[in-house]
């Protein structure tokens, strides 16, 4: 190290390594991570003299030393245990849940055991556990957001401890929660315990993997070349999609799984693709949002959407059950802590824990579940986008109580993002001077490859639901031909540009096309009448005969008329 401005004592080095491990995701997701990591170090009281090249060299040098120690099995290297905990085979996962002591972990196991006996669904089960835990005056540092992850961690720990006990033939385990977990499995999941005792770890993993992938086989259904969305089929799609909403919260390729459910279990035609289903749902949901904004309760599927997304008992709306004042408090707290969400991803940050702690510290009622805070925020933000869109169009009649607060957050968040982008652009050359250069042309995809299929070809909004090539009138003319004629644009199916149109532009296009046709028909009618009343007579006379007849027979009389004087105007 050439830079002597920073004294790397062992305490500072260990702190540096722990932060580097904690923000490992930053170096996987960001193209320019070191500038953001330096800001994180400064936020944790590191000296301001530390530079980005110096941080990078420090990390690269220490990591190379760890690899050498790993290769030579030099466990006496002073930082070997710290690196081995993160990069070794035995990762210490328990550090994430240090705030949960054994007493509250035991209470979680007991609550899980008692709730499982009631055979609730997954949604009701976790809310019952949350209510039970919070009723026992659960401390604020034990966050509800950690319960699902902690339970999975407890199961994996029991898995390891139980196999170790069977291998060494020990009667007692050194883990204090071993007996409660063993009692849980004996009572509620005995088949898992049998597999754990009979199958090797690798075979058990393969069995679970095959079991998960077994539901994604070939779809079997009716093969139909043409398919029409009737009212009954559309209602079935809405019900099945909303009843299986959990799939879209837990899986990345959710529409593929939804297609399997529709085809195999509900006899939908095999010709339907996941893309077709996604488009159909997008158009239905946009129409529902529009009907909601304009208070159009006469829309065909309004009551069905309200059953699942309204304020009833079956509602999937995460805000259902929350009082308006507490939702507003949640928006304010989330807006105040927005800086915790700018550089950290949702799944492993401390932002939601801070939001939960602040809400519970202000006396949040027990019937207000905080398990769905991330889903509540996503719902609020997406709903705000719809409301703002309809407000700009002048058709928003609904009084949404959170519009002003979300508008304030959106404006502030936009300014912060712009400021971060400007800082990143200024720091680019200094931060990444030794980064390998990559051909930018390989990173930038051609314009025709990445386009939103649901965008309207006329106004570019995301409400387009009518295909320009499939929709035809009584004369067999498709919308693409009409748009070529009226708009003067080139539209081809092979150009990979958006090929849908929204309902508003569709109405304008039909009106313009009808007006043009009417003008053409009226003009043709007038010209036909004119041609019918006009008779042309052609007479062929030699040119010499014309001049001779004019000289002999014809006299030209020149008449001149003097202009009469104008009458004077009498003024009275």
Q: Which residues are annotated as a binding site for Zn(2+)?
A: 456, 459, 502, 505
Rounded to whole angstroms, the Cα distance separating 105 from 151 reads: 9
Q: Please, which residues have CB within 8 angstroms of residue 149's CB and are 6 or more apart in sequence?
A: 96, 97
DSSP lists the bridge partners of residue 478 as 472
Write down the number of H helices and E strands in the chain: 25, 2
Q: What is the Cα Rg of the chain in Å?
A: 37
Rounded to whole angstroms, the Cα distance separating 153 from 184 reads: 15
Which of 149, 115, 151 is closest to 131 using CA atoms? 115
Rounded to whole angstroms, the Cα distance separating 206 from 200 reads: 10
> Vertex 429, ends 423 and 432: CA angle to 5°?
100
Q: Rounding to the nearest 10 degrees, give the CA dihedral for residues 421, 422, 424, 425.
A: 110
Please check whether residue 259 is in contact with residue 275, taking contact to mean a CB–CB distance below 8 angstroms: no
Rounded to whole angstroms, the Cα distance separating 14 from 223 reads: 63
What's the 3-state SS for 17-86? Answer: HHHHHHCHHHHHHCCCHHHHHHHHHHHCCCCCCCCHHHHHHHHHHHHHHHHHHHHHCCCCCCCHHHHHHH
Within its chain, how far is the Cα of 508 from the centroid? Answer: 31
> Vertex 428, ends 422 and 431: CA angle to 5°?
130
Task: Give the residue numbers of the binding site.
Answer: 456, 459, 502, 505
Please check whether residue 195 is in contact with residue 204, taking contact to mean a CB–CB distance below 8 angstroms: yes
Burial code (b: 16+ CB inside 10 Å, e: under 16) for 245-272 equals: eebeeeeeebbebbbbbbbbeeebbeeb
Which of 143, 57, 73, 177 is closest to 434 using CA atoms? 57
């Amino acid at each position: 190290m050439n830079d002597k401005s920073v004294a790397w004592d062992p305490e500072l080095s260990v702190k540096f390594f722990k932060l580097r491990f904690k923000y490992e995701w930053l170096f996987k997701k960001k193209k320019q991570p070191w500038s953001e990591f330096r800001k994180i170090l400064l936020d944790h009281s590191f000296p301001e003299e530390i530079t980005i090249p110096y941080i990078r060299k420090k990390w690269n040098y220490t990591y190379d030393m760890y690899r050498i120690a790993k290769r030579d099995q030099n466990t006496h290297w002073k930082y070997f245990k710290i690196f081995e905990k993160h990069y070794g085979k035995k990762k210490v996962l328990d550090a994430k849940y240090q705030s949960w002591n054994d007493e509250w972990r035991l209470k979680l196991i007991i609550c899980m055991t008692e709730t499982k006996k009631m055979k609730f669904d997954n949604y009701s089960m976790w809310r019952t556990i949350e209510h039970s835990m919070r009723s026992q005056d659960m401390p604020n540092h034990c966050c509800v957001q950690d319960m699902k992850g902690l339970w999975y961690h407890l199961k994996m720990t029991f898995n390891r401890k139980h196999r170790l006990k069977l291998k060494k033939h020990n009667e007692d385990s050194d883990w204090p929660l071993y007996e409660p977990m063993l009692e849980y499995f004996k009572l509620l999941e005995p088949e898992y315990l049998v597999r754990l005792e009979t199958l090797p770890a690798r075979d058990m993993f393969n069995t679970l993997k095959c079991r998960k992938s077994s539901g994604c086989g070939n779809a079997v259904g009716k093969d139909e070349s043409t398919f029409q969305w009737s009212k009954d089929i559309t209602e079935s799609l809405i019900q099945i999609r909303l009843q299986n909403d959990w799939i879209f919260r837990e899986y990345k390729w959710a529409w593929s799984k939804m297609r399997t459910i529709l085809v195999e279990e509900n006899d939908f035609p095999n010709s339907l693709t996941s893309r077709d289903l996604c488009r159909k749902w997008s158009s239905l949901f946009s129409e529902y949002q529009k009907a909601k904004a304009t208070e159009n309760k006469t829309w065909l599927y309004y009551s069905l959407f309200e059953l699942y997304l309204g304020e009833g008992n079956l509602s999937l709306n995460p805000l259902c059950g929350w009082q308006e004042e507490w939702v507003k408090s949640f928006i304010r707290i989330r807006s105040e802590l927005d800086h915790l969400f700018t550089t950290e991803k949702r799944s492993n940050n401390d932002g939601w824990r801070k939001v939960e702690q602040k809400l519970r510290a202000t006396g949040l009622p027990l019937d207000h579940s905080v398990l769905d805070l991330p889903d509540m925020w996503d719902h609020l933000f997406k709903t705000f986008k719809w409301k703002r869109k309809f407000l700009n169009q002048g058709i928003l009649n609904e009084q949404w109580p959170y519009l002003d607060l979300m508008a304030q957050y959106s404006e502030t968040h936009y300014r912060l993002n712009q400021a971060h982008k400007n800082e990143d652009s200024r720091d680019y050359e200094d931060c990444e001077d030794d980064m390998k250069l990559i051909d930018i042309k390989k990173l930038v995809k051609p314009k025709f490859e990445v386009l939103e299929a649901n965008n309207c070809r006329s106004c570019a909004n995301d409400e387009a639901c009518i295909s320009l090539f499939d929709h035809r009138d009584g004369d067999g003319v498709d919308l693409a031909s009409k748009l070529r004629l009226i708009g003067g644009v080139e539209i081809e199916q092979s150009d990979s540009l958006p090929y849908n149109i929204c309902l508003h532009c569709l109405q304008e296009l039909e009106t313009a096309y009808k007006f043009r046709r009417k003008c053409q028909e009226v003009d043709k009618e007038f010209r036909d009448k004119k041609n019918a009343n006009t008779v042309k007579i052609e007479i062929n006379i030699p040119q010499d005969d014309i001049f001779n007849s004019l000289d002999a027979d014809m006299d030209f009389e020149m008449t001149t008329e003097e202009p009469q004087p104008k009458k004077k105007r009498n003024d009275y």
